[in-house]
Amino acid sequence: MSEDALALDLRGVGKSFGALEVLRDLELAVRPGEFAAVIGPSGSGKSTLFDIVSGLETPTSGEVRTDGQVAYMPQKDLLFPWRTVLDNTALGLEAQGVRRKEARRRADALFPAFGLDGFQSSYPFQLSGGMRQRAALLRTVVLERPVLLLDEPFGALDSLTRTEMQLWLADMWQRYQWTVVLVTHDIREAVLLADTVHVLSPRPASVAERIEVPLPRPRGVDALTEPEFAAVERLVLDALQNRAVR
């Protein structure tokens, strides 16, 4: 894989907090337009990895290269209850110095694609869980950064809503061809959405295995029952179990 063709390139990344070593010699490469999933045991350092890529933390060792700045969507939607949905989605742009009117115009243009048209003047408490997550993703996407970091965006949703949101995200990714790195604990979610699944070892974490997902796109609900889907799930599960007992 050519270095010039990478949207994200982590080389030998390590991170320690005092005596606690969280990451060690972690290597992760993501191509432009790729949907990559990162999965690993609880406490293996997935969120620390995102903090490093987004610039919130500095690695103790190694190098992080990105194709420009990244946009980071954390686990919680973090919508301010006193701001309208439109004002919430424009907040990141305003924080970057974009004038409020222009920020609102740019955010508003995405409302139809995100299934939020008509809710610009609503407040977060008036939205369903899935709609709140779409608003949070819109707030992230409107920043127009080359790489999107999604930290378990659907983890708090019920099973039915979660599946709906996964399929919606898959459709949006295919429409816009974002570069996405998704942290998840859900093997099915990783296989359904991703081109590649990067399995982390227990702490101190490194990428133990990189698994290609050779399933055709688009992937709908029917894909979940295909033998090929189950086979990839098994590969990921085996990789997790093998690393969990190392």
**Quick one: CA torsion of 54, 59, 64, 70, rounded to 10 degrees?**
0
| pLDDT at residue 244, as a whole number | 52
What's the CATH fold of domain 3-244?
Rossmann fold (3.40.50)
Measured distance CA(239)–CA(11) in Å, rounded: 21
| pLDDT at residue 246, as a whole number | 45
56: CB partners within 8 A, 6+ apart: 72
- Per-residue pLDDT in tens (0 to 9) along the chain, 246 residues: 445 588 999 999 999 999 999 999 999 999 999 999 999 887 788 889 989 998 889 999 999 998 778 898 887 888 999 999 999 999 999 999 999 999 999 999 999 999 999 999 999 999 998 899 899 999 999 998 889 999 988 877 888 888 888 999 998 998 888 999 999 989 999 999 999 999 999 989 999 999 999 999 888 889 889 999 999 999 999 999 875 544
Measured distance CA(135)–CA(227) in Å, rounded: 35
Q: 49-78 b/e with 16+ CB inside 10 Å = b? A: bbbbbbeebebeebebebbeebbbbbeebe
| pLDDT at residue 97, as a whole number | 93
| pLDDT at residue 76, as a whole number | 82
Measured distance CA(193)–CA(109) in Å, rounded: 25
Predicted TM-score of the model (pTM): 0.89
| pLDDT at residue 43, as a whole number | 77
| pLDDT at residue 153, as a whole number | 85
| pLDDT at residue 121, as a whole number | 96
